[in-house]
Structure 1
Amino acid sequence: MLLVYTHKITPRLRYTFKQICTRILGVPVSFTTTIEDFIAHDNLKMSYTRQPLGKEFFIRSNELLFEQGLNDVEIKVSDWEDTKCFFPNGEQSALPFDIFAASFYLLSRYEEYMPHVKDEFGRFTAKESLAFNNGFLRQPVVDIWALKFRKTLEVQFPDFTFPERQYKITPVIDIPKAYSYKLKGIMRSVGGTFNDLFRFKLKNIYTRYSVLFGFRNDPYDTFKYIINKQKQVKDKFIFFFLIGDFSTYDKNINAQKSKFISLIKEVGDYSKIGLKASYFALTDSAILKTEKLRMESIINQDLYASRNSYSKLNLPESYRNLVELEIPEDFTMGY
């Protein structure tokens, strides 16, 4: 166990240290504000505060993890070995910057709480990010920092053995439209036909009616192929089905249709099922709750994961809604 001495224990501090030390490095972490307890601890330990107590492993803290609310944070990004860093902290520190404050800034999406320019769907875009504008968008910098932190600890505590993490992939399959032509109903099929005629897309018309009359498979109907792939691997895929009401932004199959319900159930026999929340569910928890209950009635089990349409997040509302509805996992976050 890693014992951390600090002058103040805050939720931000607990969250960040547990992410870096426990979830990434696999080391349990505990905190103390009592010097005597820190001195008595004869295993892995460090101080994270303004000044070192003596010659212990010390990282000088930035104030970010001890603040409340939001402040306009001034950040100057610098090069550090093969990556980037910010929040420099002086020569006494074991690392040249506060990796915990910097990690919290990125993990919490701090910049997305501040005023920023949104795109047409109300999303924070990559081009607005600190990472894009400083050339480290494609680096998993928090993980890189954590591993460099581990190497520094190994020098100070050579007898401590860090656990090795196991790598695995979880394939995520997004299904905003289960079929291109099937199960759309007469009105949508006729409307799609006239739309193709207007745009002179005669091949689409041929394909549409070949599918509707059963002469060929729907071009989106790849579910049997994917399920066969699922049978060949141990880790479960996650299928996120959109079952929200039809709207300008969401144009999937009607969730009341028995063949669509049967498709979800069949896929669920082999893989995990998640909810692709509709566009309007992102801002209305009542709609999200309706969609959650609708999906749970189909799969006959509690919903454990969701993913938002258009990869849109409204911070902090999106996650507060998921917590309130007891949906434990989200697969939306990204740019």
Structure 2
Amino acid sequence: MLIYCPEPSPRLSYVIDFISQEILFEKAVVCTDAEVFRFYEGVRINYSETVFQEPNYQIYPHGLLKETGIASQPVNMGAWKELPVFFANGQGAGFDLFAAIFYLLSRYEEYLPHEKDEYGRFSHRCSLAFKEGFLDRPLVNEWLQQWEQELLQLFPAAIFRRGSYRFIPTYDIDMLYSYRGKPWWRNLGGALRSVLQGSYAQAIERWKVLRGRLPDPYDAYEWLDALHLYCRVKPIYFFLVAQRQVGWDKNIPTSYKPFQEMINYYASVYKIGLHPSWQSSVEDNPTILKEEKEWLEVVADIEIDKSRQHYIKFNLPDGYQRLLDAGIRKDYSMGYGSINGFRASVASSFYWYNLETNAPTSLRIYPFCFMDANAIFEQQLSPQQGYTELMKYYAAVKKVRGCFITIWHNIFLGTDPQFKGWRELYEIFMKEDAYWDATG
């Protein structure tokens, strides 16, 4: 594929690299020479206002990719082959496909003035995807699928790379156990609170768990191990290892030996990553993140290069830059902590583009689209409704042959009666869908 553009830019190169990763066998080349473009015998993409007689697919530039700064952009919505589009111009392809992809992947709107949610995060209500009703669609992947078909009409001999659907189940271990491993005063306080509230059964359960007569209600680990083995899937576990248990960081103390032993074991059989604490994202102290990462590396006895923010708490560009500075190279936080959907409108991994420096980085982003906590607390879905929601996103990602990344918590997959039904729906999905995808 040869792309004619008289004024190439780092932003255009970034988009072309992503497109090449998704649908091509070789990286597309950007060309500034009109004569070379005219006589090229492969797929010709004309990213300019110049008119050529030779067959080419023309995309009229919006102008965003030539810019170097950050400014509010006029977003003109339109439709293309029944798909919602923006940066519509009514010429050539009808919209600037390259600029639209860049706007979504770079999270351009998150650098502009915007409303924060109650946790200080970019509010999903400010996003173009939410406002225009495509938050539940991997729109970038859908665009590229349609674009392939249009290019094949112009260039029937073209061969495009066909991606494969993938499923990556991921787990956030915020609290290893409900009762076990907590300091005696926390268990005593919890028991007294249960008694004062009349929850005698819970107080008795706590006592039995601590005496080893009952399994801890948050202990779903052996069950998950068996499920992964049966379904032949490879999970990723993210561990919250805050050295100070304050505020939203309520993990088991890192001095608890069974906690350390579990991390070490999981690092030997699965992929694991860091779940950076709330403190690391809000305090002006970059050493907190580095200390957590170093502690996890020592206990796991491996290098840690993956992360996902606790409570999906991050803001751009500082949050991602902090990860890079700490040595993280793969992040799984791209999604909302307030609603399920595609935050970057894509079901493929991509590199973070730092708009402040106007350059791509080495941080690879793996977006998720479904999190149990969103379904339970934010959207207040029943397990039956949650299953329908899960299947909706599963079908959307599978249709575009993308990567389906889900977030689950051991808290909801254990035996706590408060969350009855969620473990069962996950097992149904894994055995009736994930299993056949892995074995088919």
Instruction: Determine which structure has greater relative contact order: mean sequence separation of CA pairs < 8 Å that are 6+ residues apart, divided by chain length.
Output: 2
Match of 1:141 among 136, 139, 146: 139
Task: Report the identity percentage.
Answer: 35
The offset of 1:226, in angstroms, is 1.0
Contact 1:181 1:189 in 2 (8 A): yes
Letter in 1 for 2:258: K
The offset of 1:162, in angstroms, is 1.2
Supply the distance in 2 between the matched residues of 1:191 and 1:61 (Cα, whole angstroms).
Answer: 63
Contact 2:38 2:52 in 1 (8 A): no
The offset of 1:315, in angstroms, is 0.2
Letter in 1 for 2:311: Y
Supply the distance in 2 between the matched residues of 1:155 and 1:122 (Cα, whole angstroms).
Answer: 47
The offset of 1:234, in angstroms, is 4.1
Equivalent position SS for 1:60: coil
Supply the distance in 1 between the matched residues of 2:297 and 2:116 (Cα, whole angstroms).
Answer: 33
Match of 1:176 among 164, 174, 177: 174
Supply the distance in 2 between the matched residues of 1:54 and 1:254 (Cα, whole angstroms).
Answer: 70
Equivalent position SS for 1:139: coil
- Alignment partner of 1:86 is 2:86: yes
The gaps in structure 2 that reach 5 residues or longer are: 337-440
Contact 2:25 2:160 in 1 (8 A): yes
Letter in 2 for 1:178: L
* 1:123-134 → structure 2 map (5 Å cutoff): 123-134=121-132
Equivalent position SS for 1:18: helix
Equivalent position SS for 1:169: strand
Contact 2:23 2:162 in 1 (8 A): no
Contact 2:77 2:88 in 1 (8 A): no
Contact 2:23 2:161 in 1 (8 A): no
Supply the distance in 2 between the matched residues of 1:182 and 1:98 (Cα, whole angstroms).
Answer: 56
CA RMSD of the aligned region, Å? 1.7
Contact 1:61 1:89 in 2 (8 A): no
The offset of 1:221, in angstroms, is 0.7
Contact 1:223 1:267 in 2 (8 A): no
Aligned to 1:225: 223
Aligned to 1:8: 7
Aligned to 1:323: 324
Contact 1:227 1:267 in 2 (8 A): no
The verdict on how the C-alpha distance between 1:52 and 1:37 changes in structure 2, with shifts beyond 3 A counting, is same
Supply the distance in 2 between the matched residues of 1:26 and 1:179 (Cα, whole angstroms).
Answer: 47
The offset of 1:317, in angstroms, is 1.1
The verdict on how the C-alpha distance between 1:200 and 1:81 changes in structure 2, with shifts beyond 3 A counting, is farther
**Which structure has the greater CA radius of gyration?**
1
The gaps in structure 1 that reach 5 residues or longer are: none
- Alignment partner of 1:282 is 2:287: no
Supply the distance in 2 between the matched residues of 1:118 and 1:24 (Cα, whole angstroms).
Answer: 36
Contact 1:3 1:45 in 2 (8 A): yes
Match of 1:244 among 242, 245, 256: 242
Aligned to 2:295: 294
- Alignment partner of 1:313 is 2:311: no
The offset of 1:241, in angstroms, is 0.8
Contact 2:22 2:161 in 1 (8 A): no
Supply the distance in 2 between the matched residues of 1:62 and 1:154 (Cα, whole angstroms).
Answer: 24
- Alignment partner of 1:34 is 2:33: yes
